[in-house]
């Protein structure tokens, strides 16, 4: 049974300033709405608690993907299709292209947005592991001003974020990798399209003189929120490509996960498969 239409309201602010004034004027009352690919699903299932929505989709201030110094800056309304079609994203962030292609199918990718994927805060979303792997930073905006938060400090727990009721994600800034880079993205689902991840792992490694000079690994579907695999990273950092401590990294990865049993997979499956995916990533890394 769907939500009750007569209870719902959706307003279309004419500018970002107007949208922020509505959010700060009645904190917690208005739910930001962009592509609707998550909120409408919950509404159609009759499980959406929110009834008053703020349609951000027309706000030009939140659109676009632009080079900005050492970063690529994604407006929070950048769609998955915008990401998969953008030349600079292909050039610098192949994991983000793969994440965008792995999200739903084309009709979802045309509507769903990067900002929405972040603030919907599903642990199973496909772009967050890549954003974690690339060291992304979020720019939040409110009537009080702007502030930046490192993305790996943004998710605080299941659907809990460092985001006040009057704030919106304005932009996602991702530093462009320099030097010799290795990129890896793997989503395990029931099929290639339209599947929600059982397990997702994205990694970015900067290689200097044959050693792992910098690396970040992002995980999806194995914790209450998207998380970095800090223990596995620590086991690998500084190591040589010719002598990667695969078993130690796999063992360390267990401490990075707190998976649950649900309709998509068991906790045991998630632990084992995430370790296997890490092993696959390290075999590819050893061969670069």
Partner 1 sequence: MADRINLVMKLNGEERSVNVHPFARLLDVLREDLRLTGTKEGCGEGECGACTIFLNGQVVNSCLVPAVQAQGAEVITVEGLARGGELSPIQAAFVAHNGAQCGFCTPGMLVAATDLLNRCPNPTEDEIRDGLAGNLCRCTGYSKILDAVQTAAADGASR
User: Which residues of this protein are in contact with partner 1, per CB under 8 A?
Assistant: 2, 5-10, 12, 33, 35-37, 40-41, 44-45, 53, 55, 57, 81, 104-108, 110-111, 192-194
**Minimum CB separation from partner 1 for residue 256, in Å?**
30
Q: Which is nearer to partner 1, 108 or 161 (CB)?
A: 108
Closest to partner 1 by CB, 3 vs 135, is 3
Nearest approach in angstroms of CB 11 to partner 1 is 8
What is the smallest separation between the CB atom of 194 and partner 1, expressed in angstroms?
5
Minimum distance, C-beta of residue 78 to partner 1, in the bound complex (Å): 14
Cβ proximity to partner 1, 66 vs 190, nearer residue: 190
Nearer to partner 1, 56 or 223 (CB): 56
Question: Closer to partner 1 at the Cβ: 59 or 249?
Answer: 59
DSSP 141-172: EETTEEEEEEGGGTEEETTEES--TT-EEEEE
Q: Closest approach of Cβ 54 to partner 1, in Å? A: 11
Are 227 and 256 in contact by the 8 Å Cβ rule? The answer is yes
> Kindly report the CA angle at 240 between 236 and 242, in degrees rounded to 5?
120
Minimal distance in Å, beta carbon 105 to partner 1?
3
Nearest residue (CB) to partner 1, 13 versus 259: 13
Residue number, 41 or 237, with CB nearest to partner 1: 41
**Minimum Å distance from CB 82 to partner 1?**
11
């Amino acid at each position: 049974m769907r939500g009750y239409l007569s209870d719902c309201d959706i307003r279309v602010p004419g500018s970002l300033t107007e949208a922020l004034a509505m959010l700060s004027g009645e904190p917690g009352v208005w739910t930001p709405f962009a592509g609707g690919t998550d909120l409408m699903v919950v509404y159609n299932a009759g499980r959406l608690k929110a009834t008053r929505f703020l349609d951000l989709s027309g706000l030009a201030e939140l659109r676009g993907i632009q080079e900005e110094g050492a970063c690529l800056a994604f407006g929070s309304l950048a769609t998955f299709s915008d990401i998969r079609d953008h030349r600079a994203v292909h050039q610098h962030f192949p994991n983000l292209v793969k994440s965008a292609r792995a999200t739903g199918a084309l009709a979802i990718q045309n509507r769903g947005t990067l900002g929405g994927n972040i603030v919907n805060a599903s642990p199973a979303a496909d772009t967050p592991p890549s954003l974690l792997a690339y060291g992304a930073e979020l720019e939040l905006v409110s009537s009080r001003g702007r502030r930046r938060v490192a993305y790996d400090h943004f998710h605080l727990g299941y659907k809990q974020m460092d985001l006040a009721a009057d704030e919106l994600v304005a932009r996602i800034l991702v530093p462009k990798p320099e030097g010799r880079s290795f990129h890896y993205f793997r989503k395990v689902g029931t099929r290639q399209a339209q599947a929600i991840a059982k397990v997702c792992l994205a990694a970015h490694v900067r290689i200097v003189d044959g050693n792992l000079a910098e690396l970040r690994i992002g995980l999806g579907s194995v914790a209450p929120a998207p998380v970095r695999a800090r223990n596995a990273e620590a086991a690998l950092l500084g190591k040589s490509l010719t002598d990667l401590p695969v078993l130690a990294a796999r063992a360390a990865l267990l401490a990075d996960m707190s998976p649950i049993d649900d309709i998509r997979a068991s906790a045991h499956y998630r632990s084992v498969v995430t370790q296997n995916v890490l092993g696959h990533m390290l075999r590819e890394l050893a061969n670069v």
